[in-house]
Amino acid sequence: MAAVASAPAKIILFGEHFVVYGEPAVVTAIDKRAHVSAELRKDRRIYIKSVDLGVSGFFVDEGFKAERGGPDARTKLEPTRIAVQKVLDISKKRVGINVEVHSSIPVASGLGSSAAVAAATAFAVSHVLGAKISREEIFHIAYEAERFVHGTPSGIDPTVSTYGGVILFRKDKGFSPIKVEGDIPLVVGDTGIERSTGEMVAGVRERKEHYASIINPLIKTGGKIALSAAEALEKGDLNTLGELMDINHSLLSAVGVSNEALERLVYVARKAGALGAKLTGAGGGGCMVALSPSNRLKRVAEAIERAGGKAFIARKSDEGVKIES
Query: Between residues 90 and 244, which has the closer beta carbon with respect to its own copies?
Result: 244
Using the Cα atoms of residue 123, residue 129, residue 134 and residue 138 in order, give the sign of their dihedral.
Answer: negative
Site string for its own copies, 262-301 (x = CB under 8 A): -xx--xx--x------------------------------
Q: What CA–CA distance (Å, rounded) separates 57 from 101?
A: 12
Counting contacts by CB under 8 A, is residue 52 touching its own copies?
Answer: no
CA 215, CA 205: separation in Å to the nearest integer? 10
Sole window of 68-76, 137-145, 182-190, 215-223 interacting with its own copies (rule: CB under 8 A):
215-223
DSSP letter, residue 26: E
127: region left, alpha or beta (phi > 0 left; psi from -120 to 50 alpha): alpha
Closest distance between its own copies and the C-beta of residue 284, in Å?
13
Of the candidate residues 217, 231, 308, 323, the single one contacting its own copies (CB under 8 A)? 217
Which residue, 309 or 320, has its beta carbon nearer to its own copies?
A: 309
User: Which of 52, 61, 89, 157 is the catalytic position?
Assistant: 157
307: which DSSP letter?
T
Q: Which of 9, 11, 17, 27 is nearest to 199 (CA)?
A: 17
Cα–Cα dist 45/229, whole Å: 48
Q: Given the complex with its own copies, which of 170 and 220 has the nearer CB atom?
A: 220
Between 246 and 324, name the residue whose CB sits nearer to its own copies.
246
In the complex, the smallest distance separating the C-beta of residue 188 from its own copies, rounded to whole angstroms, is: 20
Helices (H), 272-322: 297-306
| DSSP H/E element including 39 | strand 25-41
Instruction: Provide, rounded to whole angstroms, the least separation between the CB of residue 224 and its own copies.
Output: 5
213 binds its own copies (CB under 8 A): yes
| 284: DSSP letter | S
Nearer to its own copies, 131 or 247 (CB): 247
Q: Are 313 and 297 in contact (CB under 8 A)?
A: yes
Report the alpha-carbon distance of residue 5 to residue 121 in Å, rounded: 7
Site for its own copies in 224-263 (CB under 8 A): 224-225, 228, 243-244, 246-247, 249-251, 253-254, 256, 258-260, 263
- Give the 3-state secondary structure of residue 162: helix
Residue 60 or 212: the one with the smaller Cβ distance to its own copies is: 212
Measured distance CA(274)–CA(193) in Å, rounded:
22
Measured from the CB of residue 257, what is the shortest distance to its own copies in angstroms?
Answer: 10
157 is a catalytic site residue: yes
Binding-site ranges for its own copies (CB under 8 A) = 207, 210-211, 213-215, 217-218, 220-221, 224-225, 228, 243-244, 246-247, 249-251, 253-254, 256, 258-260, 263-264, 267-268, 271
Q: Which residues are catalytic?
A: 157
